[in-house]
Amino acid sequence: VLDYATGLLQETGNVRIFGTVPGKAAIISFLVDGIHPYDLAAVLDRAGVAVRVGQHCAEPLMMRLGVDGTVRASFACYSSKADVDAFVAAVRKATAMLS
């Protein structure tokens, strides 16, 4: 599911994924170019997609990365490809609304 989501997000373009090391936990921290993470998370929330947004208790890392924060999607054993499709569709909708 993580690989599927990563691939779909990368296909959408203008998405910057933070952390792509092999074997990483099933999370994707990301930003969409030109869109504030809080705006993105707000639109995802309204689309029924729960993500975490902000600095994730990692302010020094965010400063090092030069970002205000990221949006983070987490997947679990019960997450399905359909969930991922809904998530990516919501990211695309949010990008269109906020650009």
Number of residues that bind another protein (CB under 8 A): 11
User: Site for another protein (CB under 8 A): which residue of 7, 24, 33, 46?
Assistant: 46
User: Are 70 and 62 contacting, i.e. CB atoms less than 8 angstroms apart?
Assistant: yes
Q: Residue 47 in 3-state DSSP?
A: coil
68 binds another protein (CB under 8 A): yes
CB of 7 to another protein, least distance (A): 28
Contacts of 86 (CB under 8 A, 6+ apart): 47, 48, 49
- Asked about 57 being catalytic, the answer comes back as yes
58 binds another protein (CB under 8 A): no
Binding site for another protein (CB under 8 A): 35-36, 38-39, 42, 45-46, 54, 68, 97-98
